[in-house]
Structure 1
Amino acid sequence: MKKILISGFEPFGGSSINPTERLIHDMRSESFEDVEIRTVLLPVHYDECAELLLKEVRTFEPDAVIACGVAGGRTAVTPERIAINTKDVPPESVIADNRGARPQDEPIDPDGPDGLFSTLPIRAMVNRMKEAGIPAAVSNTAGTYICNNTMYALLNDIRKRQLPILAGFIHFPASTEMALEKPGLPTLSHDTMLRALKVIVRTTIDELAE
Structure 2
Amino acid sequence: MLKILISGFEPFGGSSVNPTERLVEEIRQEVFPGAEIRTLLLPVHYDECADILLQEMKAGEPDAVIACGVAGGRTAITPERIAINIKDIPPESTMTDNRGARPQDEPIDVDGPDGLFSTLPIRLMVNRLKEAGIPASVSNTAGTYICNNTMYAILNEIRREHRSAIAGFVHFPASTEMAVEKPSLPTLSHETMLNGLRIIVQATIDELNGRA
TM beyond 0.5: yes
Structure 1 residue 176, shift from structure 2 partner: 0.3
- The residue type equivalent to 2:106 in the other structure is E
Per-residue CA distance 1:83-113 (angstroms, 9 max, x = gap): 0000000111111000000000000000000
Aligned equivalents of 2:117 and 2:175: distance in 1?
27
Query: Matches of residues 28-43 of structure 1 in structure 2 within 5 Å?
Result: 28-43=28-43
Aligned equivalents of 1:26 and 1:137: distance in 2?
23
Aligned to 2:149: 149
Query: Matches of residues 1-210 of structure 1 in structure 2 within 5 Å?
Result: 1-210=1-210
Unaligned runs of 5+ in 2: none
Per-residue CA distance 1:154-191 (angstroms, 9 max, x = gap): 00000000000010000000000000001100000000
Unaligned runs of 5+ in 1: none
Structure 1 residue 136, shift from structure 2 partner: 0.1
Aligned equivalents of 1:122 and 1:92: distance in 2?
32
After TM superposition, the score normalised by the length of structure 2 is 0.99
Aligned equivalents of 1:8 and 1:18: distance in 2?
9
Per-residue CA distance 1:67-94 (angstroms, 9 max, x = gap): 0000000000000000000000011111
Aligned equivalents of 1:40 and 1:26: distance in 2?
12
Secondary structure of the equivalent of 1:75?
Answer: coil
What number of residue pairs does the alignment pair up?
210
Aligned equivalents of 1:190 and 1:59: distance in 2?
30
Moved over 6 A (4+): none
Identity %: 76
Per-residue CA distance 1:107-158 (angstroms, 9 max, x = gap): 0000000000000000000000000000000000000000000000000000
Aligned equivalents of 2:137 and 2:184: distance in 1?
21
Aligned equivalents of 1:34 and 1:112: distance in 2?
35
- The residue type equivalent to 1:30 in the other structure is E
After TM superposition, the score normalised by the length of structure 1 is 1.00
